[in-house]
């Protein structure tokens, strides 16, 4: 049975800047959106909120679903990556709670699109999707009869 890894990512935007997290992998500082794996007891939106808080210290709920990318990592690991949008009124201070994150940066789209240190090509592709205005309601990835959600009987 095919079992791809399921991840979530948050494209966070404020005042023409996008939030990236920087982490050192194999001695190289790489940029990514706040992102990580879906855990067994959470919805996709809950996973996005958790990863955002762990990697940036920001508590926010995604406002839109942008896209799901099915892709193969360079090591041929299959992924389904769910990308969410969060628009903030202003850039804000960050405080990563994940020891793998070195720092957070607010950058322009051009800085990200031209960067040579992206963790994956999906970081730039996420910016391009956002730039086209691609936004969908969160209900596209809604949980159904989810036993961990309040009100389920």
CATH for 5-141?
3.90.79.10
Give pLDDT tens digits for 68-126: 999 998 889 999 999 999 999 999 999 999 999 999 999 999 999 999 999 999 999 99
Structure confidence by residue, pLDDT tens digits, 132-144: 999 999 999 988 8
pTM given for the model: 0.92
Question: Is 146's pLDDT higher than 90?
Answer: no
**Spatial distance between the Cα atoms of 112 and 72, rounded to a whole number of angstroms:** 21
Evaluate if residue 147 carries a pLDDT over 90.
no
* 50 Cβ contact partners less than 8 Å away, ≥ 6 residues apart: 36, 39, 42
The residues with which 82 forms a beta bridge, in sequence order, are 8, 68
DSSP state of 139: G
Give the separation between CA 125 and CA 142, rounded to whole angstroms.
24
* Structural domain boundaries in the chain: 5-141
Are 86 and 12 in contact by the 8 Å Cβ rule? The answer is yes
Q: How many separate helices (H) and strands (E) can be counted in the chain?
A: 3, 7
């Amino acid at each position: 049975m095919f079992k791809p890894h399921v991840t979530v990512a948050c494209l966070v935007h404020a005042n023409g800047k996008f939030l990236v997290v920087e982490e050192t992998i194999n001695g190289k500082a790489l940029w990514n959106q706040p992102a990580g794996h879906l855990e067994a007891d959470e919805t996709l939106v809950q996973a996005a909120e958790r990863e955002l808080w762990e990697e940036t210290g920001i508590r926010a709920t995604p406002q839109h679903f942008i896209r799901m990318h099915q892709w193969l990592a360079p090591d041929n690991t299959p992924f389904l990556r769910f990308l969410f949008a969060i628009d903030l009124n202003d850039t804000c201070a960050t405080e990563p709670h994940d020891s793998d994150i070195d720092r957070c940066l607010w950058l322009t789209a051009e800085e990200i699109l031209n960067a040579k240190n992206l963790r994956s090509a999906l970081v730039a592709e996420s910016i391009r999707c956002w730039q086209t205005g691609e936004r969908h309601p969160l209900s596209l990835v809604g949980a159904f009869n989810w036993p961990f959600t309040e009100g389920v009987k």
